[in-house]
Amino acid sequence: MSGDLKWNKIIGAGLATVFVILVVREGTAFIYHNEAPEKMGYFVDAPEEAAGGAAEAILPPDWGTVMPTADLAAGEAAFARCKSCHTIDAGGANGIGPNLYGIAGRATASHAGFAYSDAMTAHAGTNPTWTLDELDLFITAPGRHVPGTKMSFAGIRDTATRVNLIAWLRSQGSTGMAVPAPDPARQPGAAAAAAAPVEGAAPVAG
Protein backbone atom coordinates (compact mmCIF):
# COMPACT_ATOMS: atom_id res chain seq x y z
CA MET A 1 0.00 0.00 0.00
CA SER A 2 2.80 2.37 0.90
CA GLY A 3 4.40 1.64 -2.49
CA ASP A 4 1.22 2.75 -4.29
CA LEU A 5 1.19 5.98 -2.28
CA LYS A 6 4.82 6.58 -3.20
CA TRP A 7 4.06 6.35 -6.91
CA ASN A 8 0.95 8.49 -6.51
CA LYS A 9 3.09 11.21 -4.91
CA ILE A 10 5.63 11.03 -7.75
CA ILE A 11 2.94 11.23 -10.43
CA GLY A 12 1.18 14.02 -8.55
CA ALA A 13 4.42 16.02 -8.28
CA GLY A 14 5.04 15.59 -12.00
CA LEU A 15 1.54 16.74 -12.91
CA ALA A 16 1.87 19.72 -10.58
CA THR A 17 5.14 20.71 -12.24
CA VAL A 18 3.57 20.52 -15.71
CA PHE A 19 0.59 22.58 -14.48
CA VAL A 20 2.88 25.30 -13.06
CA ILE A 21 4.86 25.47 -16.32
CA LEU A 22 1.67 25.85 -18.35
CA VAL A 23 0.32 28.56 -16.05
CA VAL A 24 3.56 30.54 -16.18
CA ARG A 25 3.80 30.27 -19.98
CA GLU A 26 0.19 31.32 -20.60
CA GLY A 27 0.41 34.10 -18.02
CA THR A 28 3.58 35.48 -19.62
CA ALA A 29 1.99 35.39 -23.07
CA PHE A 30 -1.03 37.28 -21.73
CA ILE A 31 1.04 39.96 -19.99
CA TYR A 32 3.54 40.48 -22.81
CA HIS A 33 1.13 40.21 -25.75
CA ASN A 34 2.61 41.23 -29.12
CA GLU A 35 0.55 42.29 -32.10
CA ALA A 36 1.70 41.99 -35.70
CA PRO A 37 2.53 45.37 -37.30
CA GLU A 38 0.17 46.73 -39.97
CA LYS A 39 3.08 47.18 -42.38
CA MET A 40 6.04 44.87 -42.56
CA GLY A 41 9.18 46.92 -42.14
CA TYR A 42 9.66 50.64 -42.57
CA PHE A 43 11.62 53.06 -44.70
CA VAL A 44 14.53 54.97 -43.19
CA ASP A 45 15.29 58.09 -45.18
CA ALA A 46 18.99 58.74 -44.59
CA PRO A 47 21.08 61.05 -46.80
CA GLU A 48 23.78 59.41 -48.85
CA GLU A 49 27.25 60.37 -47.69
CA ALA A 50 30.48 60.81 -49.54
CA ALA A 51 33.55 58.78 -48.66
CA GLY A 52 34.78 61.57 -46.40
CA GLY A 53 31.61 61.35 -44.30
CA ALA A 54 29.99 64.66 -45.30
CA ALA A 55 26.63 64.68 -47.09
CA GLU A 56 27.15 65.39 -50.77
CA ALA A 57 24.69 67.44 -52.81
CA ILE A 58 22.90 65.24 -55.33
CA LEU A 59 22.42 66.95 -58.69
CA PRO A 60 19.63 65.80 -61.03
CA PRO A 61 20.89 63.92 -64.08
CA ASP A 62 22.14 65.93 -67.04
CA TRP A 63 19.51 64.56 -69.40
CA GLY A 64 21.16 66.00 -72.49
CA THR A 65 24.21 63.88 -71.74
CA VAL A 66 22.75 60.67 -70.29
CA MET A 67 19.65 60.14 -72.44
CA PRO A 68 21.46 59.59 -75.78
CA THR A 69 23.66 56.91 -74.20
CA ALA A 70 21.01 55.26 -72.00
CA ASP A 71 20.60 51.48 -72.24
CA LEU A 72 17.00 50.95 -73.36
CA ALA A 73 17.19 47.18 -72.94
CA ALA A 74 18.28 47.66 -69.33
CA GLY A 75 15.47 50.17 -68.88
CA GLU A 76 12.92 47.67 -70.16
CA ALA A 77 14.33 45.07 -67.78
CA ALA A 78 14.01 47.56 -64.90
CA PHE A 79 10.34 48.07 -65.81
CA ALA A 80 9.70 44.42 -64.93
CA ARG A 81 9.36 45.47 -61.30
CA CYS A 82 6.56 47.88 -62.30
CA LYS A 83 4.45 45.39 -64.29
CA SER A 84 2.48 44.16 -61.31
CA CYS A 85 0.83 47.59 -61.05
CA HIS A 86 1.20 49.30 -64.45
CA THR A 87 0.62 48.57 -68.13
CA ILE A 88 2.44 50.59 -70.78
CA ASP A 89 0.94 49.51 -74.09
CA ALA A 90 -0.97 52.12 -76.09
CA GLY A 91 -4.58 52.12 -74.92
CA GLY A 92 -3.77 49.66 -72.16
CA ALA A 93 -6.00 49.32 -69.15
CA ASN A 94 -5.27 50.86 -65.79
CA GLY A 95 -4.20 48.46 -63.10
CA ILE A 96 -3.37 49.17 -59.48
CA GLY A 97 -1.59 52.16 -61.01
CA PRO A 98 -2.40 54.12 -64.17
CA ASN A 99 -1.33 53.07 -67.67
CA LEU A 100 2.07 54.65 -68.38
CA TYR A 101 2.06 54.89 -72.17
CA GLY A 102 3.28 58.37 -73.07
CA ILE A 103 4.02 59.21 -69.43
CA ALA A 104 7.03 61.46 -70.14
CA GLY A 105 5.61 64.90 -70.84
CA ARG A 106 2.07 63.91 -69.84
CA ALA A 107 0.04 66.04 -67.45
CA THR A 108 0.33 64.84 -63.85
CA ALA A 109 -2.63 62.85 -62.48
CA SER A 110 -4.41 63.06 -65.82
CA HIS A 111 -4.89 59.54 -67.15
CA ALA A 112 -8.56 58.88 -67.86
CA GLY A 113 -10.36 56.41 -65.64
CA PHE A 114 -7.80 56.21 -62.86
CA ALA A 115 -8.69 57.33 -59.32
CA TYR A 116 -5.62 59.26 -58.18
CA SER A 117 -4.94 59.89 -54.51
CA ASP A 118 -5.68 63.30 -53.06
CA ALA A 119 -1.94 63.69 -52.52
CA MET A 120 -1.14 63.16 -56.21
CA THR A 121 -3.97 65.45 -57.32
CA ALA A 122 -2.63 68.18 -55.02
CA HIS A 123 0.91 67.55 -56.30
CA ALA A 124 -0.32 68.16 -59.85
CA GLY A 125 -1.24 71.68 -58.82
CA THR A 126 2.42 72.59 -58.30
CA ASN A 127 4.01 70.06 -60.66
CA PRO A 128 1.59 69.85 -63.58
CA THR A 129 3.78 67.83 -65.96
CA TRP A 130 5.75 64.61 -65.78
CA THR A 131 9.07 66.15 -66.78
CA LEU A 132 12.23 64.06 -66.79
CA ASP A 133 13.21 65.60 -63.45
CA GLU A 134 9.77 64.85 -61.97
CA LEU A 135 9.94 61.24 -63.10
CA ASP A 136 13.42 60.93 -61.63
CA LEU A 137 12.42 62.36 -58.25
CA PHE A 138 9.26 60.26 -58.03
CA ILE A 139 10.90 57.00 -59.07
CA THR A 140 13.73 57.59 -56.58
CA ALA A 141 11.34 57.60 -53.61
CA PRO A 142 7.61 57.96 -54.40
CA GLY A 143 6.48 58.31 -50.80
CA ARG A 144 9.06 60.99 -50.08
CA HIS A 145 8.41 63.05 -53.22
CA VAL A 146 4.62 62.84 -52.95
CA PRO A 147 3.75 62.15 -49.29
CA GLY A 148 0.43 60.31 -49.14
CA THR A 149 0.62 58.78 -52.61
CA LYS A 150 -1.10 55.40 -53.00
CA MET A 151 2.01 54.05 -54.70
CA SER A 152 3.68 51.75 -52.16
CA PHE A 153 6.81 51.08 -54.26
CA ALA A 154 9.95 51.87 -52.21
CA GLY A 155 11.78 53.47 -55.13
CA ILE A 156 14.99 52.99 -57.12
CA ARG A 157 18.06 54.60 -55.58
CA ASP A 158 20.54 53.66 -58.31
CA THR A 159 20.83 56.62 -60.71
CA ALA A 160 21.95 54.59 -63.74
CA THR A 161 18.97 52.25 -63.36
CA ARG A 162 16.56 55.20 -63.14
CA VAL A 163 18.09 56.89 -66.20
CA ASN A 164 17.75 53.71 -68.25
CA LEU A 165 14.19 53.20 -67.06
CA ILE A 166 13.15 56.81 -67.81
CA ALA A 167 14.78 56.65 -71.24
CA TRP A 168 12.80 53.49 -71.98
CA LEU A 169 9.57 55.02 -70.67
CA ARG A 170 10.14 57.97 -73.01
CA SER A 171 10.53 55.53 -75.92
CA GLN A 172 7.03 54.20 -75.17
CA GLY A 173 4.85 56.93 -76.63
CA SER A 174 6.79 60.00 -75.49
CA THR A 175 9.46 60.42 -78.17
CA GLY A 176 7.92 63.77 -79.07
CA MET A 177 9.19 65.10 -75.75
CA ALA A 178 12.44 66.88 -76.56
CA VAL A 179 15.60 65.97 -74.66
CA PRO A 180 17.26 69.12 -73.30
CA ALA A 181 20.74 70.16 -74.37
CA PRO A 182 23.63 69.11 -72.13
CA ASP A 183 23.86 71.28 -69.03
CA PRO A 184 27.39 71.83 -67.64
CA ALA A 185 25.87 72.89 -64.31
CA ARG A 186 24.59 69.32 -63.84
CA GLN A 187 27.88 67.60 -64.56
CA PRO A 188 29.45 65.63 -61.70
CA GLY A 189 31.45 67.94 -59.48
CA ALA A 190 29.70 71.07 -60.74
CA ALA A 191 28.15 71.83 -57.35
CA ALA A 192 31.49 71.55 -55.59
CA ALA A 193 33.18 73.71 -58.21
CA ALA A 194 30.52 76.40 -57.87
CA ALA A 195 30.91 76.43 -54.08
CA ALA A 196 34.72 76.58 -54.16
CA PRO A 197 36.26 80.05 -53.60
CA VAL A 198 37.74 81.72 -56.65
CA GLU A 199 41.54 81.71 -56.44
CA GLY A 200 42.91 85.17 -55.80
CA ALA A 201 39.53 86.65 -54.91
CA ALA A 202 39.41 89.11 -52.01
CA PRO A 203 37.60 87.88 -48.90
CA VAL A 204 34.15 89.29 -48.29
CA ALA A 205 33.73 91.18 -45.04
CA GLY A 206 31.20 89.58 -42.70
Query: Which range, of 9-23, 49-63, 85-99, 145-159, averages the lowest pLDDT?
Result: 49-63
Query: Which is higher by pLDDT, 8 or 157?
Result: 157
Query: Which is higher by pLDDT, 46 or 84?
Result: 84
Cα separations in angstroms, 189 against 45, 91, 157, 161, 192: 24, 42, 19, 20, 5
Q: Which of 59, 47, 46, 64 is nearest to 137 (CA)?
A: 59
| Average pLDDT estimate for 158-166 | 97
**Is 29 a residue whose pLDDT tops 70?**
no
Query: Which range, of 53-67, 159-173, 184-198, averages the lowest pLDDT?
Result: 184-198
Mean predicted lDDT score pLDDT of the chain = 81
Residues in the chain: 206
CATH number of 63-179: 1.10.760.10, 3.30.70.3340, 3.40.50.10540, 3.30.420.40? Answer: 1.10.760.10
CA distance 110 to 121: 9
Query: Which range, of 8-17, 27-36, 153-162, averages the lowest pLDDT?
Result: 27-36
| Average pLDDT estimate for 162-180 | 96
**Is 96 a residue whose pLDDT tops 90?**
yes
Residue 13's pLDDT band (boundaries 50, 70, 90)?
confident
Task: Judge whether 176 and 170 are in contact, CB under 8 Å.
Answer: no
Q: Which amino acid is located at 113 in the chain?
A: G
Query: Which range, of 19-28, 70-79, 156-165, 179-188, averages the lowest pLDDT?
Result: 19-28
Amino acid 46: pLDDT: 42
Query: Which is higher by pLDDT, 50 or 170?
Result: 170
**Is 171 a residue whose pLDDT tops 60?**
yes
**Which sequence spans correspond to the domains of the chain?**
63-179
| Average pLDDT estimate for 139-157 | 94
Q: Which of 95, 98, 101 is nearest to 109 (CA)?
A: 98
pTM above 0.75, yes or no: no
Residue 58's pLDDT band (boundaries 50, 70, 90)?
low
Q: Which amino acid is located at 131 in the chain?
A: T
Q: Which of 107, 106, 94, 101 is nearest to 168 (CA)?
A: 101
Strand partners, 107: 129
133 CB-near residues (< 8 Å, 6+ apart):
60
Percent of the chain with pLDDT over 90: 61
Amino acid 52: pLDDT: 43
